[in-house]
Amino acid sequence: GNPILEVRDLQKHFHLGSGKTLKAVDKLNISIASGETFGLVGESGCGKSTAGRTIIRLYEATGGEVLFNGENVHKLRGNKLQEFRRHMQMVFQDPYASLNPRMTVGNIIAEGLDIHGLADGKQRKQRVSELLDAVGLNEEHASRFPHEFSGGQRQRIGIARALAIEPQFIIADEPISALDVSVQAQVVNLFKKLQKERGLTYLFIAHDLAMVKHISDRIGVMYLGKLVEVTTSEELYANPLHPYTQSLLSAIPIPDPEVERTRERIILEGEIPSPLNPPSGCPFRTRCPKAMPECAASMPEFKEVQPGHFTACHLY
Ligand code: SF4
Ligand code: MG
């Protein structure tokens, strides 16, 4: 289908007092079709959350553009901006910190309805109870406070809040990372169910590939503010091209003990370089097991090396 979101050469640079520039997001290109789930993966500090926040315009971009339904998000003003804010919502990583402890669950969920003046009285109450039901809670929960709920339940409340104004697009920033492993799959399944029922499009941010496997149609892998590989979920797991993706995949345990025993682990040497002082050439070269002399000399171009499969690496 047509892309609902097109991110073109998006850049979010922070200029620090020392005269240094932190290139948190550097020339990011992503296109997401309506109804699709795009998983964005990378280690902490790679810029994935900053990318999400710049796309939804919690941060102003310092370069490039974000087109949502064909409109440049960073140029919207007034009513148009208000309308955009209705169509794109965010679910945050920490369900403990992101819910106001002094508000009832009902008021938290209805906040968007109140801000946009979309429902009041009986209709508002009705909407809240429908939303609680949609996320697997019930209407009695509306009068309670966030501290009365478990982490998984709080994330369900966060999801209900995001859904209240019927957005088309949800950016979920590590929505399951803070949850117990036993609860993670339930929350992923909830995202999938809601997508099916409501035709939602997701940008699903995570720090490891295991978390996005079952929800993403396509996946992008980020390293030091840049995308290093993008392809379909199946293709990425079956045929990872970039050495960084290969190392991330090799770190995921495989349930079959026979396969697990004979498998080769790729252990990366060294720390992630400071984004304030990235290496010359390929940003991954200081940890790459396959680095060659040319990797220090020039930055590999991000290009389509197989149909629908993009990567930035001099091996291809
Ligand atoms: Fe490794 Fe060179 Fe490819 Fe970078 S360009 S990922 S250093 S082989
Ligand atoms: Mg983050």
Complex prediction ipTM: 0.97
What pLDDT, in 10s, does the model give residues 177-199?
Answer: 989 988 999 999 999 999 999 99
Task: Please report the pLDDT score of residue 1 as a whole number.
Answer: 63
- Mean pLDDT, the chain, rounded, equals 93
Q: How much distance in Å is there from the Cα of 55 to the middle of ligand 2?
A: 14
For residue 81, is pLDDT > 80? yes
Q: Tell me, using a 6 A CB cutoff, whether residue 268 lines ligand 1.
A: no
Q: Tell me, using a 6 A CB cutoff, whether residue 225 lines ligand 1.
A: no
Task: Please report the pLDDT score of residue 202 as a whole number.
Answer: 98
Contacts 24+ apart (CB under 8 A), 271-276: 272/43, 272/45, 272/46, 272/224, 273/224, 275/22, 275/23, 275/24, 275/45, 275/47, 275/224, 275/225, 276/16, 276/20, 276/21, 276/22
Task: Please report the pLDDT score of residue 37 as a whole number.
Answer: 98
For residue 314, is pLDDT > 70? yes
Q: Tell me, using a 6 A CB cutoff, whether residue 288 lines ligand 1.
A: yes
| Domains of the chain and CATH, by start | 3-309 (3.40.50.300)
Ligand 1: residue whose CA is nearest its atom 7:
285
For residue 166, is pLDDT > 90? yes
Ligand 1: residue whose CA is nearest its atom 8:
291
What pLDDT, in 10s, does the model give residues 134-154?
Answer: 999 999 999 999 999 999 999
Q: How much distance in Å is there from the Cα of 149 to the middle of ligand 1?
A: 46
The confidence band for 2, taking pLDDT boundaries of 50, 70 and 90, is confident
pTM, to two decimals: 0.94
| Phi, then psi, of 221 in degrees rounded to 5 | -110, 130
Rounded average pLDDT over 20-34:
95
228, 244, 315: which to mutate for ligand 1, most atoms within 8 A of CB?
A: 315
3-class SS letters over 152-205? HHHHHHHHHHHHCCCCCEEEEECCCCCCCHHHHHHHHHHHHHHHHHHCCEEEEE
For residue 70, is pLDDT > 80? yes
CA distance 42 to 130: 35
